[in-house]
Amino acid sequence: MRRKTFILGTIAWCCLAFYSKQQTMVALPAHFPPTVYDLDRNPPTPEKIELGRALFYDTILSKDSTISCASCHNPYNAFAHTDHDLSHGIDDLIGTRNAPALFNLAWQQTFMWDGAIVHLDMQALAPITNTREMNLSMQAVIDRLNASQLYQKLFYEAFRDSLATGEHALKALAQFQLTLVSANSKYDRVSNSLETFSDQESAGYALYQKNCSSCHVEPLFSSGGFANNGLPVDTSLNDYGKWKVSGLSEDSLLFKVPTLRNLSYTYPYMHDGRFNKLNQVLNHYTRGIQNSKTLSNALQKPILLSSNEKTDLLSFLLTLNDREFVFNPKHQFPKKILLPAKD
Amino acid sequence: MFQHSTLLALRLCLPALVAFTSLNLCAQQKQNEIRFHFTVDNAVLELEKSYYLPAIKDSIRLEKIALYLSHLRLYKGNKLVGSAEKEFVLLNAENATSQQIPLPKGMVKKFDEVRFYFGIDSTTQVEGVSGGDLDPVHGMYWTWQSGYIHAKIEGVSPTCPARKNRFLFHIGGYQAPNSTVKEIRVKVPKSQSAEISIAIDQLLSQVDLRTNYVVMSPGPKAVTIALLLPAIFSPAP
């Protein structure tokens, strides 16, 4: 009887440990809503995550082996592309939008500024095959991976199958990206009663709640939806956002509401990177909004902020920076895999 | 325990017994399948070969044909009697094996109708990446937006005013009102296998290549072409 209990207990413990281990692979902050991504369909494991990390940083995924995902999604910039309004890819070709920051992806319904991609697994297909970004077909990617001893080993460790497939490569990339969770900013610590805002930050928080929170909903600081925030059309780009995907006139000039987290790391701002500084963003909202048929309901009334209030609001926004996330070595270039020490 | 002579007898008979049994099993487990054939004028289509189409009074040459079928089910007298194990099938004119859909081993029921869908259902389209015939490596998933390309039909015709006279039909779309998923039913001679012909000439004869030669995204044009598809599937003569 005792032996049976012991065996059952051990099995139960193993099951529980495995379940817990799965869940901690992708940190799920208690104050965040449930994930959108179905983790059961692509359960995270350390080996798959490491494979995904290698792929993310490996330029082998581009035609001339010069561009990796990290070329536009830089870890030190919360996986955004700074210093450029429009991201550039292979052969220095300039694209049409600014690469968005990558974090908290498990809670996103859609991807890209116009919501063209509806599942994280499939997102990588867009930059890999785009002729101005990495310019390589998936078949060519898989052929290269299968010709590499390193990747044969990594795929075997991750999937018990050394043969790389599009499915496995994309799942591994998704798993690595799912681990990019940013939830330890000062704001989060205040949320969890571990710290308190300064007076200025508190004032800024109140201004955020009054003026910004309907679109930039906490704790993700985005509703995940789309809005026309009154940006005048850049006629050198003629980018009408979500309209391109849906073809519906009510989607004209609607773009995905980005998160307000990690703003210090992710300039320039907006889908076409037109604002370098947060002050320019605030000035847009107070005096730069262009009215149009699809202008967001939240912006129909003007936003009024005095100079001091702008400072307060900015100080609150800075509490959304997550330094620990940006400097987390687990997210960075996997030196041991991609540049092993030569003996 | 056994006497020497018994053991010897067993040793001689056993292999024969095994061979006999396995032969019998083989006979019972013949591979039943649905075989699809892309055809022109009721003959198997060859890629890169030039065909004259009387309906358009011009020739065409097909360079690529790939299309997704899903949920193949078998009916006899309107009753479901079986289904293919592979839920999603990518037929490719370049690959004869891709056009042979095995039916479950040991399936002995005969059927007189095959039902399936052209295209991939919307649930599968949005649930994440899959492998096998659904693997995006096959180049049948739109990379710049979401969704599978249900059919790629590419070729050349002098009628076509496009660059290099090339027509390019990438038919897809899984969301209303531009869903190109279509149910198709083909009545076949009662049997445990079936051969179905996909008359590409019939399809292209109904498309005016002088004005309609590029479809690269979901929309009404793709739907118009998808509507022509059920009629081009028929039992192979």
B30-74: pLDDT as tens digits: 689 999 999 999 999 999 999 999 988 999 999 999 999 999 999
pLDDT tens per residue across span A168-201 = 999 999 999 999 999 999 999 999 999 999 999 9
ipTM of the assembly? 0.87
Give the distance from CA A211 to its chain's centroid: 24
What is the C-alpha R_g of chain A?
22
Over the stretch A121-143, which tens digit does the pLDDT of each residue have?
A: 999 999 999 999 999 999 999 99
Nearest CA in chain B to A115: B145
Number of other CB atoms surrounding residue B49 within 10 Å: 11
pLDDT in tens, B149-197: 999 999 999 989 999 999 999 999 999 899 999 999 999 999 999 999 9
Among A170, A246, A251, most B C-beta atoms within 10 A, so best to mutate, is A170
Give yes or no for residue A19 having a pLDDT over 50: no
- B146: nearest CB among A117, A137, A170: A117
Q: Who contacts B213 (Cβ-Cβ below 8 Å, separation ≥6)? A: B160, B161, B162, B166, B167, B168
pLDDT reading at B11 higher than 70: no
User: What distance in Å separates residue B218's CA from the closest CA in chain A?
Assistant: 10
d(CA B35, CA A216): 54
Dihedral angle of Cα A216, A221, A227, A233, to the nearest 10 degrees: 100
Q: What is the pLDDT of residue A24?
A: 57
Token pair listed for B174: 């899984």
Residue A280 has pLDDT above 80, yes or no: yes
Interface test with A, best of B140, B142, B146, B170 (most A CBs within 10 A): B146
Residue A310 confidence (pLDDT): 97
Which residues does B89 contact at the CB level (< 8 Å), separation at least 6? Answer: B68, B69, B70, B72, B98, B101, B133
User: B143, A129: Cβ pair inside 8 Å?
Assistant: yes
B3 pLDDT higher than 90: no
**Would you say B173 and B220 are in contact if contact means Cβ atoms under 8 Å apart?**
no
The three-class DSSP label of residue A282 is: helix
The maximal CA–CA distance of chain A, rounded, in angstroms, is: 79
Q: Per-residue pLDDT tens for B215-228?
A: 999 999 999 999 99
Name the nearest CA neighbour of B107 among B84, B88, B89.
Answer: B84
| pLDDT > 50? residue A80 | yes
How far away is chain B from the Cα of A113, in angstroms, using its nearest Cα? 12
